[in-house]
Amino acid sequence: MKIFLETERMILRQFTEKDAQNIFELDGDPEVMRFLTNGRGTSMDTIKDKILPHTFEFYENHDHFGYWAVDEKLSGKFIGWFLFRPDKEEPNNFDKIELGYRLKKSAWGKGFATEGSKVFLEKGFRNWKVNYIFAVTLLENIGSQRVMQKIGLNLEKEFIEPLELLPDFPSEEERKAVWYSQTRDEYLKL
């Protein structure tokens, strides 16, 4: 197991092939996927043929950016993942980084998303010299917005996600989203 970061209650590590079942179970919960696919799970073929190879590619090419499996220290159990990667629109811009997470329902409301996100902000701005970190969620996802606010991100804009990105949400109303962000200068002034 290659550990990437540790927090008080979590180990963030590289994914392995053995995590296919963990991802399948996580994505198989309709409530976890509610704001991503309208509750539809991810197939094992997609996980093995697309998601894990894409994840491993990040490890080969980047030291600090990618997708990180999360194990709870106390139980040793997989509880989800974090992403810390360049914007999909600008994959070679390492000054503009997206922060995201997906956690099992059993981990909701316990501060894991906030705890992990704070570590990524700290490392990103102080150690890895990232200049801009952002997070995006659907407008209806109040829980994720609260995490973004707790960690000090500021609402930058509301927008409508493209249908190609969220094909399970046919109406524009369902695809209303929010973009929260913080700059390195803003973070260091706190």
**Tens-digit pLDDT profile for residues 70-88:** 999 999 999 999 999 999 8
pLDDT at 1: 81
Average pLDDT of every residue of the chain:
97
Structure tokens at 145: 């917005």
Q: Which residue has the higher pLDDT, 185 or 63?
A: 185
- Asked whether 68 and 12 are in contact (CB, 8 A), the reply is yes
pLDDT at 85: 97
Average pLDDT on 35-43 reads 96
Cβ-proximal residues to 141 (8 Å cutoff; 6+ apart), any chain = 35
Cα 145 to chain centroid distance, Å, stands at 13
pLDDT at 33: 98
Percentage of the residues of the chain whose pLDDT score is greater than 70: 100
Separation CA 122–CA 135 (nearest Å): 15
Separation CA 29–CA 188 (nearest Å): 38
User: Residue 165: left if φ>0, alpha if ψ -120 to 50, beta else—which one?
Assistant: alpha
**Tens-digit pLDDT profile for residues 91-136:** 999 999 999 999 999 999 999 999 999 999 999 999 999 999 999 9
Q: How confident is the model at residue 190 (pLDDT cuts 50, 70, 90)?
A: confident
DSSP string, the chain: --EEEE-SSEEEE---GGGHHHHHHHHT-TTTTHHHHTT----HHHIIIIIHHHHHHHHHH-SS-EEEEEEETTT--EEEEEEEEE-TTSTT-TTEEEEEEEE-GGGTTTTHHHHHHHHHHHIIIIIS--SEEEEEEETT-HHHHHHHHHTT-EEEEEEE--TTT-TT--STGGGEEEEEEEEHHHHHH-
Listed by start position, the domains of the chain span 3-189
pLDDT at 40: 96
CATH code: domain 3-189 is 3.40.630.30
